[in-house]
């Protein structure tokens, strides 16, 4: 039996590239999934394609909005009875103007997609994990969180904030058997990245399955002593 068998995990951003692959990897290990996203059709197709569709349920929510997250969390509790963990994959990326030219809207968009979505979901799930006596939270930051680059400051800053948020929440919850960690992926091998960077070799990028495998480890009991970590997942990128 898998060590993840029957764990109930909320997966945000489930309709995206990494979210879909993570759902498939976790489902194969017996995880019962709350698939959260904004695209009902994609979520429904994803659920039907999982190893055990009956172990998953779909919840449509825009996690940029706290009220929507609260409703979603209550729906998950009604469906599954408890929550064992949260994987925050919802987010976004954009290149843009230099810092002195970047409009406020660009900063707001990245902070909304990457920081506020993560904060909203953590804030809503922690009371349920405290009631359960423990749990796991995994956030997705980025390699750019630790090494800024030109024309992507709003993205890099928003992901750096995810790292700091992870460290702070981990410190707050360490006495409650709740671990909080984040990943720092390098360039992911996705259709979008292949289209945007045709001159680069995707064999050097990070396979989505590789990221999902690290997530599976972090929500397992084997990772019970790891908290507050920002884990590089760079591959050869």
pTM of the model: 0.95
**Structural tokens at position 200:** 């680069």
Considering the candidates 155, 161, 181, 187, report the single residue annotated as catalytic: 155
- CA dist 29 and 10 (Å) reads 15
- CA dist 43 and 40 (Å) reads 5
Residue 43 belongs to what domain range? Answer: 8-233
- CA dist 168 and 180 (Å) reads 9
Nearest Cα residue to 174 out of 212, 234, 130, 116: 130
- CA dist 51 and 24 (Å) reads 7
| In-domain check, residue 169 | yes
Which CATH number characterizes residue 181's domain?
3.40.50.720
182 alpha-carbon distance from chain centroid: 8
| In-domain check, residue 185 | yes
Question: What total number of domains does the chain contain?
Answer: 1
**Structural tokens at position 67:** 């009220």
pLDDT band with cut points at 50, 70 and 90 for residue 66: very high
Higher pLDDT, 45 or 1: 45
Q: What pLDDT does 107 receive?
A: 94
Would residue 234 show up in a list of annotated catalytic residues for this protein? no
Residues 185-225: tens digit of each pLDDT: 998 888 888 888 888 888 889 999 999 999 999 999 999 99
| In-domain check, residue 100 | yes
Cα Rg, the chain, nearest whole Å: 17
Q: Are 178 and 127 in contact (CB under 8 A)?
A: no
| In-domain check, residue 2 | no
| In-domain check, residue 3 | no
């Amino acid at each position: 039996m898998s060590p993840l068998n029957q764990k109930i995990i909320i997966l945000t951003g489930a309709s995206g590239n990494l979210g879909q692959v993570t759902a498939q990897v976790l489902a194969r290990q017996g995880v019962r999934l709350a698939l959260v996203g904004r695209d009902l059709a994609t979520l429904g197709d994803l659920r039907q394609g999982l190893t055990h569709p009956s172990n998953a349920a779909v919840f449509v929510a825009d996690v940029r909005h706290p009220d929507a997250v609260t409703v979603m969390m209550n729906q998950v509790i009604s469906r599954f009875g408890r929550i064992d963990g949260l994987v925050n994959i919802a987010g976004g990326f954009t290149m843009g103007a230099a810092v002195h030219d970047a409009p406020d809207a660009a900063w707001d968009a990245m902070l909304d997609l990457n920081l506020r979505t993560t904060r909203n979901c953590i804030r809503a799930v922690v009371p349920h994990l405290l009631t359960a006596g423990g749990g796991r939270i995994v956030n997705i930051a980025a390699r750019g969180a630790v090494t800024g680059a030109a024309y992507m400051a709003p993205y890099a800053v928003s992901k750096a904030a995810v790292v700091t948020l992870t460290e702070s929440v981990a410190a707050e919850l360490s006495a409650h058997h709740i671990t909080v960690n984040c990943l720092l992926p390098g360039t992911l091998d996705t259709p979008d990245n292949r289209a945007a960077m045709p001159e680069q070799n995707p064999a050097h990028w990070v396979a989505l399955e590789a990221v999902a495998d690290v997530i599976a480890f972090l929500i397992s009991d084997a990772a019970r002593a790891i908290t507050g970590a920002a884990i590089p997942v760079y591959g050869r990128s």
